[in-house]
Amino acid sequence: MSADIIDGKAFAAEVRTRVAEHVRRLTDEHGIVPGLAVVLVGEDPASQVYVRSKNKQTVEAGMNSYEHKLPADTSETDLLALIRQLNEDPAVHGILVQLPLPDHMNSDIVINAISPAKDVDGFHISNVGLLGTGQKSMVPCTPLGCLMLLRDRLGSLSGLNAVVLGRSNIVGKPMAQLLLGDSCTVTIAHSRTKDVQAVCRGADILVAAVGRPQMVTKDWVKPGATVIDVGINRIDAGEGKTRLVGDCDFDSCAEVAGAITPVPGGVGPMTIACLLANTVTACCRANGLAEPDDLTA
C-alpha cells in the first residue's frame, strides 16, 4: 500500500470543533443559539440510528436539537403542516426530514415544502438551482464534506481533472457543481459511459459514488490520484456476518492512488459534521450576520 489514508473521522472532529466555536460566538456575542429540527417518519432502523447520532452531535456542539418522531401512518398533509410550523419558528434555523419516507408520501413535495433558507440538506429545488448557477445556496452535506477533504489534502483544486463516478441528485450532480466552482475540469461518468474505466483513469481526483461495492479497482485509478470513496455498502463476510465496504476496492486502489478515503471512517463522518456546519451557516444568514467562511463552499 502506497496511498496516504485520508482520515475523515479525525477531520470531521475538527469541523465539529469549529462549529462549536462558532456556536459559542453566536451565543456570547449575539444571544443566538442555532437550532436544528430533525423529522423522522416511521421506524426504519437505519434512520433511527442516524437521527440519534445527529441529535447527539447537535447537542454536543452547543446547538438546540428539536426531534419530531412521527408514526409511519402519518398523513402527508400532517407532515406538511409540521414543516410549515417549523418554517415559521424563529428558533429553528435548519430543518431535515430523514429519508426514506413511507411509500404513501411524495419525497419531492415534502422536501420542497421546507423553506430553502432552512434546507440544511441542500435538496430543495431552489438550492439545487442556486448551486448549479454558482450562487449562494445551502450545499448538500456529503458533497460538501468531500470538497472539504479535497481542499485539505490538495489545497487549490484549480485546473485539476476530476471525475465523478455517479450522477445522483444527492451526491454526483452537486459534487460536480462544487468541483466546477473550484475550477476543476469535471467529467460525470455513469453506467452508460463508454470505456468508463479509461475515463476514471484520467482523473487527478476520482469521486466514486455509484453504490456498487468494490467496483473501482486499481486499473481505474491514475497513479498518484486522490480517491474519494462515497460508497457505503454492506456485503457478506461469511459465517453469517457482514462488513462495510466502499465503491472502491480499497486495498487494490491504495496500491496506486496518492491518497484515498477508507470505508468506514472516510466520507461518512463528514456528512453529519457538514449538517451541523450548514445549520450554523443558515443561522448566520437568517440573522444578517457574517457566515463562517471555513464551514461552507
Residue among 57, 98, 177, 214 flagged as catalytic: 98
Which residues does residue 44 pair with via DSSP β-bridges, in sequence order? none
Spatial contact of 243 and 237, defined as CB atoms under 8 Å apart: yes
Residues in contact with 158: Cβ distance below 8 Å, sequence separation at least 6, in sequence order: 182, 183, 184
Tell me phi and psi for residue 205, to 5 degrees.
Answer: -125, 125
Cα pseudo-dihedral 131, 135, 140, 141, rounded to 10? 140
C-alpha cell at 269: 463522518
Rounded Cα distance, 120 and 94, in Å: 5
The yes-or-no answer on residue 251 being catalytic is no
Spatial contact of 253 and 218, defined as CB atoms under 8 Å apart: yes
Rounded Cα distance, 172 and 164, in Å: 6
Spatial contact of 69 and 42, defined as CB atoms under 8 Å apart: no
3 state DSSP class of 162:
strand
Which stretches of 175-223 are assigned E, i.e. beta strand? 185-189, 205-208
The yes-or-no answer on residue 85 being catalytic is no
Residue among 57, 118, 121, 229 flagged as catalytic: 121
The yes-or-no answer on residue 135 being catalytic is no
C-alpha cell at 224: 498518484
Rounded Cα distance, 17 and 102, in Å: 35
Rounded Cα distance, 107 and 169, in Å: 13
Amino acid at site 109: I
Spatial contact of 118 and 282, defined as CB atoms under 8 Å apart: yes
Annotated active-site positions, please?
Answer: 54, 98, 121
